[in-house]
């Protein structure tokens, strides 16, 4: 169901956040009423046979009081923010005031931040009400979402499979209607991959436009920002992503007195007609499984049929094999101790950064000829839980064989390590009924373009968000 096109389902938890917010403002839906409905969704999703386990911590007493205040504000005709009264969850890697925030690590099992991360504070100022935290892997360092504190999160389309990582609980919560929207993190695909595997929309912003202070990626984390890492919204429609981006984009607090960030709008992107699209689907050095490939090619056909000018052969002038350099930069940014073998010397990091800047320049030149690039989100669709071993030893099924776990990072790293904005849009399902997402990539800082095109792509493919089986009554 694409909430911007199709008839709305009867259950408001499955509406997109834009529709929910309008209904609350107009008095057709109560904030506390929506919270209660979301809690019913949570109970259903956590029952047999689904056991989704997306939410790991709740703060219901304070949230309920805030929802009642939100409903009173509507009745009194008070000024309302764009997210007024929307009950939400937040990925447990992001600091939330007064709520246990662990990063999925036992060392932070009792960690209660005294202040919100700036991004969370912005959501609250816009009217959102945080009632829970969502599950993730330890330190957000996985393609799956499990940890010693809270166990395993299951995919809402098939509980035997992962929802992706690291924002797996976040994407599952949005897919299930448990949260109006989510705030996740993405350094190597951690918003885009779970969004794809759970059948929802996710956006990795241009690097640096949303503060990532308050990110819990190591025991002393939160006070600094890491290379490549971004915070990004997960939602049930592209228009939700655009609304949330407007709320979240801002300078860090130390720059706020002097700096304003105004991303270019995409108001002229109303149709795929005439849009210049580079379709980078097949790449020998970054293979994707056949079930996914067929869905993506059908999506490209639909984009072309909608009037876009599609080039299936054009590629940026970069060596695709250099995705591994992006992965090394990501690895350095996520290392959590001085004993970790991944950290680089600063001199070596600078050399790799210079090479990255050359690749970024090539991307910029490429975008002089194309409005967007569409490409895979990752290598495979949601795979069965695989928790034995580690990154260096684990593999996952791939077209009758296996593929190294590390190679799941190829497509996300190619885009993310170049600081580019990318929107993951649901474009269809495999024959086995598993959702497939596509990345829509736009030039640096042109986030609104990738989001706008993603919405049009969803419409062209007759895809977008569909409620997963665990939401059926």
| Residue 359 CB coordination number (10 Å) | 19
Q: Residue 8, SS3?
A: coil
Which residues, 6+ apart, have CB-to-CB distance to 347 below 8 Å? Answer: none
Alpha-carbon distance of 432 to 425, in angstroms, equals 19
C-alpha span between 47 and 45 (Å, rounded): 6
Q: Which runs of E-coded beta strand occur in 175-218?
A: 182-186, 201-204
What are the two backbone dihedrals, phi and then psi, of residue 260, each rounded to the nearest 5 degrees?
Answer: -125, 140
Q: Do the strands 435-441 and 230-235 form a parallel or antiparallel pair, or are they unpaired?
A: unpaired
Residue from 31, 91, 167, 237 carrying the catalytic annotation: 91
**Residue 190 is among the residues annotated as catalytic for this protein:** yes
- Would you tell me the crossing angle of helices 346-366 and 323-334 to the nearest 10 degrees? 130
Q: Does a cis peptide bond (omega within 30 degrees of 0) precede residue 166?
A: yes
User: Catalytic pick from 166, 180, 206, 335?
Assistant: 166
The answer to whether 278 touches 317, Cβ cutoff 8 Å, is no
- Are 377 and 171 in contact, with CB atoms under 8 Å apart? no
The verdict on whether 91 is a catalytic residue reads yes
Through-space distance between the first and last CA atoms of the chain, rounded to whole angstroms: 17
Q: How far apart are CA 169 and CA 464, in angstroms?
A: 19
Among 143, 145, 62, CA closest to 96: 62
Say which of 140, 179, 190, 442 is annotated catalytic. Answer: 190
Q: How many CB atoms lie within 10 A of CB 154?
A: 27
For residue 278, give the nearest of 353, 189, 362, 190 by alpha carbon.
362
Task: Tell me the catalytic residues.
Answer: 91, 166, 190
């Amino acid at each position: 169901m694409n909430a911007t096109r199709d008839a709305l389902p009867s259950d408001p938890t499955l509406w997109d956040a834009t529709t929910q917010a309008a209904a609350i403002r107009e008095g057709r839906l109560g904030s506390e009423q929506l919270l209660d409905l979301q809690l019913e969704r949570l109970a259903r999703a956590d029952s047999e046979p689904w056991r989704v386990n997306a939410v790991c911590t709740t703060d219901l007493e304070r949230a309920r009081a805030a929802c009642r205040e939100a409903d009173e504000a509507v009745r009194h005709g008070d000024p309302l923010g764009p997210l007024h009264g929307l009950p939400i969850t937040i990925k447990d890697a992001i600091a939330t005031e007064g709520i246990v925030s662990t990063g999925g690590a036992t060392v932070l099992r009792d960690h209660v931040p005294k202040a919100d991360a700036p991004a969370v504070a912005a959501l609250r100022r816009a009217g959102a009400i945080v009632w829970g935290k969502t599950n993730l892997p330890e330190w957000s360092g996985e393609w799956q979402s499990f940890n010693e504190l809270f166990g395993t999160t299951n995919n809402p389309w098939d509980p035997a499979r992962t929802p992706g990582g690291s924002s797996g609980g976040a994407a599952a919560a949005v897919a299930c209607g448990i949260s109006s929207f989510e705030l996740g993190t993405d350094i190597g695909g951690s918003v885009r991959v779970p969004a794809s595997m759970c059948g929802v929309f996710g956006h990795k912003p241009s690097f640096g436009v949303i503060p990532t202070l308050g990110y819990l990626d190591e025991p002393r984390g939160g006070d600094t920002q890491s290379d490549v890492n971004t915070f990004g919204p997960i939602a049930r429609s592209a228009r939700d992503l655009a609304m949330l981006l407007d709320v979240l984009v801002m300078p860090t607090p130390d720059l706020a007195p002097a700096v304003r960030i105004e991303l270019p709008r995409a108001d002229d992107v109303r149709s795929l007609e005439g849009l210049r699209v580079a379709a980078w689907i097949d790449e020998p050095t970054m293979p994707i499984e056949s079930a996914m490939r067929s869905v993506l090619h059908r999506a490209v056909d639909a984009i072309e049929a909608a009037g876009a000018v599609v080039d299936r052969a054009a590629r940026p002038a970069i060596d695709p094999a250099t995705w591994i350099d992006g992965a090394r930069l990501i690895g350095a940014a996520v290392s959590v101790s001085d004993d970790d073998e991944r950290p680089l010397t600063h001199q070596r990091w600078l050399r790799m950064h210079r090479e990255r800047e050359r690749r970024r320049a090539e991307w910029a030149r490429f975008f002089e000829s194309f409005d967007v690039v569409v490409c895979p989100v990752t290598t495979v669709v949601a795979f069965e839980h695989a928790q034995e071993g580690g990154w260096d030893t684990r593999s996952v099924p791939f077209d009758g064989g296996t593929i190294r776990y590390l190679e799941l990072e190829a497509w996300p790293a190619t885009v993310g390590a170049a600081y580019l904005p990318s929107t993951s849009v649901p474009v269809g399902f495999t024959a086995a009924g598993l959702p497939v997402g596509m990345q829509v990539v736009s030039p640096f800082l042109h986030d609104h373009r990738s989001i706008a095109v993603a919405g049009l792509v969803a419409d062209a493919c007759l895809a977008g968000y569909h409620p997963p089986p665990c939401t059926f009554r």
